[in-house]
A and B are shown apart, each in its own frame.
Chain A
Amino acid sequence: MLLREKKDQESEIPTASMGDVAFLILIFFLTTTVFTKDKGLKMLLPEKTSTEERVVVVKENIVTIAINPSGEANVKAVGYNEFLSRGEFSKITEIVEEKLLERDTLLVVSLRTSKEAPYSSMVEALDQIKLARVTSEDGRELRANKISLIPTSEE
């Protein structure tokens, strides 16, 4: 009697705890997950050149932004010579956009930052340069792609 009953007994792996195990692992990963928040301003550095090598750019194609040790900017271009205090950096975008329309892809923005200037000031100026976007007459989107970062010292 006992023997026969055992014969037609079905063997099964209990799966009731599967959900529990899964949720346990789930909670582990939920708590350990760190979502990456890498964001910033992309730049491509130039090749290191010796001092003899110089790139000659015509004066008309350059917008020079000089940042002094107190973090204020002086924007110079043909027809412009503006002194901007820290709150007025949005003017840079306007000047760069106007020059972009005028000079197209030839435009070079030279960002000359004093070594004593705060980093935030330089980033702010760079941000404003990157914000400059205009549509040319033939429908292309123009941006200031040539940005050179130049350190200056007060001597």
Chain B
Amino acid sequence: MRKSIIRRADKKTDIPTASTADIAFLLILFFMVTTVFRATTLPIDYTLPKAESTERILMRRNVTYIFVDVNSKVYMDDNLIREDMVASRITPKVWENPDLITILNVDESVNYGTVDVILDQLKEAKAFRITFATERKT
């Protein structure tokens, strides 16, 4: 009791800092939830074609990627693979998740023949849901 009276006498102004931690934790939670860690970044050189009707893909958990670079080299799961190996790589993934969406990140200058080989194998592996990755045309 006596203590508080003394305090009041030499009162100091303070900005309350008790809530800074709460605010910070809120931001942390936001970034924790939205963070996606990328295991490796492959040095794949590709430029996506541009399209006006580009849509966003929301089902992130169902997604797998195939990359085709400028030199028509095919990459999957952080590996360089032969283009006729796509089916054998995709099949187990489709078994695990029948709703799998395969995103084809193909360089714009690649011959359509290469893309066709991949599409054919996706059909074989029953990975019917695909997306041709594009940039939004501005």
Name the residue on A nearest B57 (C-beta).
Answer: A38
Instruction: Say which one of A45-53, A54-62, A73-81, A97-105 lies at the interface with B.
Output: A45-53
Query: Which chain A residue shows the least CB distance to B123?
Result: A48
Which residue on chain A has the smallest CB distance to residue B38?
A: A34
Contacts of A41 in B (CB 8 A): 51, 53-55, 131-132, 134
Query: Is B28 touching A39 in the complex (CB atoms < 8 A)?
Result: no
User: Which residue of the partner chain, among B20, B25, B57, B115, contacts A40 with CB atoms under 8 Å?
Assistant: B57
* Contact indicator A46/B20 (Cβ below 8 Å): no
- Residue-by-residue, is B25-56 near A (CB-CB < 8 Å gives 1, otherwise 0)? 10110011011111000000000010111111
Q: Which residue of the partner chain, among B49, B54, B111, contacts A39 with CB atoms under 8 Å?
A: B54
Pick the contact of A43: B34, B49, B108, B130 (CB < 8 A).
B130
Q: Are A39 and B60 neighbours in the complex by a CB distance under 8 Å?
A: no
A35 contact set on B, CB distance < 8 A: 34
Residue of B27, B37, B49 ringed by the most chain A CB atoms within 10 A? B49
CB distance from A93 to the nearest CB of B (A): 9
Known: A22-B21, A33-B34. A127 touches B112 (CB 8 A): no
Cα-based distance from A34 to B40 in the complex (angstroms): 13
In the assembled complex, which residues on chain B have CB atoms less than 8 Å from the CB atom of A46? Answer: 123, 128
Q: How far is the CB of B126 from chain A (nearest CB, A)?
A: 8
Interface residues of B, count at CB 8 A: 53
Chain B interface residues (CB < 8 Å from chain A):
17, 20-21, 24-25, 27-28, 31-32, 34-38, 49, 51-57, 60, 63, 103-104, 106-116, 119-120, 122-124, 127-137
Chain B residue numbers with a CB within 8 Å of A45 are 119, 122-123, 127-130
Interface contact A122-B36, CB-CB below 8 Å: no
Which residues of chain A have C-beta atoms less than 8 A from B17's C-beta?
19
A95 within 8 A of B: no
A91 at the interface (CB under 8 A from B): no
Known: A48-B123, A48-B124. A26 touches B115 (CB 8 A): no
Indicate if the CB atoms of A22 and B131 lie closer than 8 Å: no
Tell me which residues across on chain B come within 8 A of A118, comparing CB atoms: 108-112
19 interchain pairs, CB-CB under 8 A: A19-B21, A25-B24, A25-B28, A26-B31, A33-B35, A38-B103, A40-B103, A41-B132, A43-B130, A44-B129, A115-B111, A115-B116, A116-B113, A119-B49, A119-B108, A119-B110, A127-B52, A127-B53, A131-B53
Neighbouring B residues of A121 by C-beta, 8 Å: 112
Residues of B within 8 A of A36 (CB): 36, 60
A24 nearest CB neighbor, chain B only: B24
- Docked Cα-Cα span, A45 to B34, in Å, equals 31
**Contact assessment for B28 and A34 in the assembled complex, using a CB-CB cutoff below 8 Å:** no
Q: Which of B25, B116, B123 contacts A151 (CB 8 A)?
A: B116
